[in-house]
Amino acid sequence: MQCSNTEADMSQAEFSYKLVYVNNDNGCNSFDEFDGDRADVGNVGNGEAVSRFMQSATLSATQCNNATSILWTIDLTTPLVVTDTSNFVLNFRTTDAVSIDFNGGAIANPRIVKVGADPIQAYLTLN
């Protein structure tokens, strides 16, 4: 990444991404056999969230190379009442969801060592 305050320098900008490879365990080969590296994320604003890696819709991942998706569940603080005529609206919020970690001082050539992503917030409403 290069930081600048001039538009001409934008052509030199580098982009970064973060690969999520563990939630809770100590690495790709240490997933608990049945829990998909389940992690209690804690309070995300509208309830308590839990994350786990999945290899299919019904089967937890046992290691990184068979993980195909992330299951994100929220035990809502205020339960929703679902009826036969309910309409669902699901929104995701990523406000304050990116962090950049620096190494070095602000004057002596600081370097970006990691770009991180904090947990998403999901909001389900019924009409």
How many domains, the chain?
1
pLDDT, one tens digit per residue, over 4-18 is 666 666 565 555 555
In a domain, 59, yes or no: yes
Residues above pLDDT 90, as percent of the chain: 9
Contact (CB, 8 A) for 46 and 121: yes
**pTM exceeds 0.85, yes or no:** no
- 7/58 Cα distance (integer angstroms): 48
In a domain, 105, yes or no: yes
In a domain, 2, yes or no: no
Helices assigned H by DSSP within 1-127: none
pLDDT for 6: 67
